[in-house]
């Protein structure tokens, strides 16, 4: 295991009816900007619940943050926060609203062009406004991490930044908030979390027993829960376990001191930026092919994955690894998430376009070994072309 710092100051307020608890963690005299997405927060009543919990504080609202939040939209929130001298932000939504709020929090005090927060991936962030979150979609882990992904459609760019200044101060995790989610978003959440774990686990062994067992437990939990989650019944225990799994999939613990891949995400972000495919669906296209392409360097961990996650113990090494990848693909497909480019009406031309964008964004040495060059990315996508 490598040396590591592990620090996560986000307070989790977990359970039903916890929105009211935000009152304890926001200063009584705060000027609060509540940020949300389209209409779901209002339609489901969560926005009203939040406003009630904020009581007599001065509250401003900023709605309209898109899925895959857009730079220009977020800059309007920055302007509003500055002009109204807001001093606390509250995100109500899924990963897009929370990521957008992190960007707004960092951009408010930022001197210089805020787009550089993304092009420099956050190393230039020196301060951020405090914020909390009310999570309505379990998937990204953004409620308990320092990552944010912002899209600039004019540039066909979807870029990530991270900064220890954008840890949420608190996050409300109320599993009943997931009851209004459509099947598509629930399935996306399962796959996004699965791939977050895979990106931190399917690399090479470093003797990190806690991180490995934790990752395997989270993967098995997702596999067990998935059918119950997508069938759409409002089963509190299933949703509570699901929500907690997605948070732990990307709150830093399983990634501490171990090599990490993230090439699936970087290639996936280009697919979303170019073709507007849901984040999780891009991951389902890329991951199985990436595992096949990188089978040699990931072999030991893939065998461990086959045995400990999928209970595959028979056959030679190659057969067990292939079976584990086939099961992973079948798992995604069982959630109605297609795993090939052709399923999204994309062909060879899309592969070249993605590779060009990866080069433009400096994504030329990806993966835990920095060996995923544009040529390797091209081969990965070619494997994903058709079933
Ligand atoms: O916009 P509204 O009307 O609110 O509807 C949203 C949106 O259309 C809807 N929704 C959310 N909660 C709901 C609901 N509908 C009914 N009931 C509810 N309770 O769901 C739709 C999708 O929401 P979005 O926030 O876009 O989804 P998700 O949480 O999957 O976030 C995706 C974004 O997060 C980034 C992705 O790249 C993408 O931009 N990621 C962030 C990460 C991080 N910060 O660590 C890591 C991830 O890998 C990912 O890259
Ligand atoms: Zn993701």
Tell me the CATH number at 150: 3.40.50.1970
Q: Ligand 2 mean position to 279 CA, how many Å?
A: 7
Residue nearest atom 20 in ligand 1 by C-alpha distance: 185
Q: How far apart are CA 268 and CA 284, in angstroms?
A: 9
Q: Are residues 97 and 200 in the same domain?
A: no
Of 178, 197, 223, the position where a domain reaches its end is: 178
Q: Ligand 2 mean position to 90 CA, how many Å?
A: 22
Residue nearest atom 19 in ligand 1 by C-alpha distance: 136
Residue 126 covered by a domain: yes
Residue 335 covered by a domain: yes
Q: Ligand 2 mean position to 192 CA, how many Å?
A: 5
Q: Are residues 127 and 222 in the same domain?
A: no
Span 51-69, pLDDT tens digits? 999 999 999 999 999 999 9
Instruction: Provide mean pLDDT across the span 20-24.
Output: 98
State the CATH number of the domain containing residue 307: 1.20.1090.10
121 in Cβ contact with 102 (< 8 Å): no
Q: How confident is the model at residue 291 (pLDDT cuts 50, 70, 90)?
A: very high
- Whether the pLDDT of residue 232 is over 90: the answer is no
Span 185-213, pLDDT tens digits? 999 999 999 999 999 999 999 999 999 99
Give the other-Cβ count within 10 Å of 26's Cβ: 21
Q: Are residues 187 and 172 in the same domain?
A: no
Q: Which helix or strand (DSSP H or E) is residue 380 part of?
A: helix 374-383
Q: Are residues 54 and 109 in the same domain?
A: yes
267 lines ligand 1 (CB under 6 A): no
Q: Which of 254, 186, 194, 187 is nearest to 222 (CA)?
A: 194
149 lines ligand 1 (CB under 6 A): yes
CA dihedral of 370, 371, 375, 379, whole degrees rounded to 10: -110
158 in Cβ contact with 276 (< 8 Å): no
Residue 77 covered by a domain: yes
Q: Which of 251, 188, 139, 178 is nearest to 16 (CA)?
A: 178
Residue nearest atom 18 in ligand 1 by C-alpha distance: 181
Of 132, 157, 178, the position where a domain reaches its end is: 178
- The total number of structural domains in the chain stands at 2
Helix axes 236-249, 183-201, angle to 10 degrees: 40
279 lines ligand 1 (CB under 6 A): yes
Tell me the percentage of the chain whose pLDDT exceeds 70: 100
350: which residues sit within 8 A by CB, 6+ positions away? 271, 274, 275, 341, 381
**pLDDT value of position 325:** 98
**pLDDT value of position 387:** 87
Helix (H/G/I), strand (E/B), else coil: 77 = helix
Q: How far apart are CA 72 and CA 46, in angstroms?
A: 25
Give the other-Cβ count within 10 Å of 48's Cβ: 12
Q: Ligand 1 mean position to 358 CA, how many Å?
A: 23
Residue 16 covered by a domain: yes
- CA distances to 7, 23, 163 from 76, in Å: 32, 26, 22
Residue 221 covered by a domain: yes
**pLDDT value of position 333:** 98
Determine the atom of ligand 1 nearest the C-alpha atom of 180.
Answer: 17
Q: How far apart are CA 298 and CA 237, in angstroms?
A: 35
Q: Are residues 25 and 90 in the same domain?
A: yes
58 lines ligand 1 (CB under 6 A): no
Span 295-354, pLDDT tens digits? 999 999 999 999 999 999 999 999 999 999 999 999 999 999 999 999 999 999 999 999
141: which residues sit within 8 A by CB, 6+ positions away? 147, 193, 196, 246, 247, 248, 249, 250, 251
**Alpha-helix residue ranges (DSSP H) falling in 250-347:** 263-275, 279-293, 295-308, 317-334
Residue 6 covered by a domain: no
Q: Ligand 2 mean position to 97 CA, how many Å?
A: 14
Q: How far apart are CA 339 and CA 97, in angstroms?
A: 26
Q: Are residues 138 and 212 in the same domain?
A: no
Of 151, 178, 205, the position where a domain reaches its end is: 178
DSSP code, position 45: T
Q: Are residues 337 and 248 in the same domain?
A: yes
Ligand number, closest to the Cα atom of 141: 1
Instruction: Provide mean pLDDT across the span 35-55.
Output: 97
Chain mean pLDDT for the chain: 97
Determine the atom of ligand 1 nearest the C-alpha atom of 41.
Answer: 4
**pLDDT value of position 310:** 98
Q: How far apart are CA 67 and CA 38, in angstroms?
A: 9
Residue 2 covered by a domain: no
Q: Are residues 231 and 97 in the same domain?
A: no
Q: Are residues 312 and 195 in the same domain?
A: yes
282 lines ligand 1 (CB under 6 A): no
Q: Are residues 298 and 319 in the same domain?
A: yes
Q: Are residues 135 and 252 in the same domain?
A: no
**pLDDT value of position 179:** 98
Ligand number, closest to the Cα atom of 192: 2
Residue 5 covered by a domain: no
Helices (H) and strands (E) in the chain, counts: 14, 8
- CA distances to 130, 221, 233 from 187, in Å: 31, 14, 13
Residue nearest atom 7 in ligand 1 by C-alpha distance: 67
Q: Are residues 133 and 187 in the same domain?
A: no
Burial of 362 per CB tally in 10 Å (0-12, 13-18, 19+): exposed
Range of the domain at 320: 183-383
Span 100-158, pLDDT tens digits? 999 999 999 999 999 999 999 999 999 999 999 999 999 999 999 999 999 999 999 99
């Amino acid at each position: 295991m490598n040396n590591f710092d592990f620090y996560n100051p986000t307070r989790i307020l977990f359970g039903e009816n916890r929105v009211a608890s935000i009152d304890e963690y926001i200063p009584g005299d705060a000027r609060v900007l509540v940020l949300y997405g389209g209409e779901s927060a209002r339609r489901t009543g969560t926005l009203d619940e939040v406003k009630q919990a904020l009581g007599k504080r001065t509250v401003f609202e900023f709605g309209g943050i898109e899925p895959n939040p857009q730079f220009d939209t977020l800059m309007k929130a920055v302007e509003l926060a500055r002009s109204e001298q807001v001093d606390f932000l509250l995100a109500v939504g899924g990963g897009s609203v929370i990521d957008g709020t992190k960007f707004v929090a960092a951009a408010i005090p930022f001197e210089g062009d805020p787009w550089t927060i993304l092009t420099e991936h956050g190393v230039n962030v020196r301060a951020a406004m405090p914020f909390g979150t009310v999570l309505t979609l379990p998937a990204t882990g953004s409620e308990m991490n320092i990552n944010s992904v912002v899209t600039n459609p004019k540039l066909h760019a979807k870029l990530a930044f991270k900064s220890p200044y954008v840890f949420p101060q608190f996050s409300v995790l109320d599993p009943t908030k997931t009851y209004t989610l459509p099947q598509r978003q629930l399935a996306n959440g399962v796959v996004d979390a699965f791939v977050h774990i895979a990106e931190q686990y399917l690399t090479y062994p470093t003797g990190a027993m806690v991180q490995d067992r934790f990752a395997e437990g989270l993967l098995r939990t997702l596999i067990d829960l998935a059918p119950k989650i997508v069938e759409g019944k409002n089963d509190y225990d299933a949703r509570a376990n699901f929500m907690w799994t997605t948070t732990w999939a990307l709150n830093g613990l399983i990634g501490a001191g171990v090599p990490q891949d993230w090439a699936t995400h970087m290639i996936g972000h280009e697919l979303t930026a170019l073709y507007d495919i849901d984040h999780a669906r891009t991951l389902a296209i890329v991951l199985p092919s990436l595992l096949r392409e990188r089978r040699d360097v990931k072999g030991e961990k893939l065998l461990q994955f086959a045995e400990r996650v999928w209970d595959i113990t028979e056959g030679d090494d190659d057969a067990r690894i292939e079976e584990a990848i086939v099961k992973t693909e079948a798992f995604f497909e069982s959630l109605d998430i297609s795993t090939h480019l052709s399923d999204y009406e994309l062909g060879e031309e899309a592969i070249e376009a993605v590779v060009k964008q990866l080069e433009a964004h400096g994504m030329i040495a990806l993966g835990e070994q920095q060996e995923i060059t544009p040529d390797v990315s091209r081969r990965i996508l070619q494997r994903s072309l058709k079933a």
